Amino acid sequence: MANNKQQKKRNIQNQKRKLANASFKSSLKTAIKKVEMAVKNGEKDKAVEALNYAYKKIDKSVAKGIHHKNYADRQKSRLSRKINKL
Residue 68 domain flag: yes
**pTM to 2 decimals?**
0.85
Find out whether 66 and 25 touch, Cβ atoms under 8 Å: yes
pLDDT in tens, 24-74: 999 999 999 999 999 999 999 999 999 999 999 999 999 999 999 999 999
Please compute Rg for the chain using Cα positions.
17
How far is it, in rounded angstroms, from Cα 12 to Cα 9?
5
| 41 within some domain | yes
Asked if residue 1 belongs to a domain, the reply is no
In whole angstroms, what is the distance from residue 78 CA to residue 74 CA? 6
Q: Which amino acid is at 71?
A: Y
| Structural domain for 39, as ranges | 27-84
Could you give the 3-state DSSP secondary structure of residue 48? helix
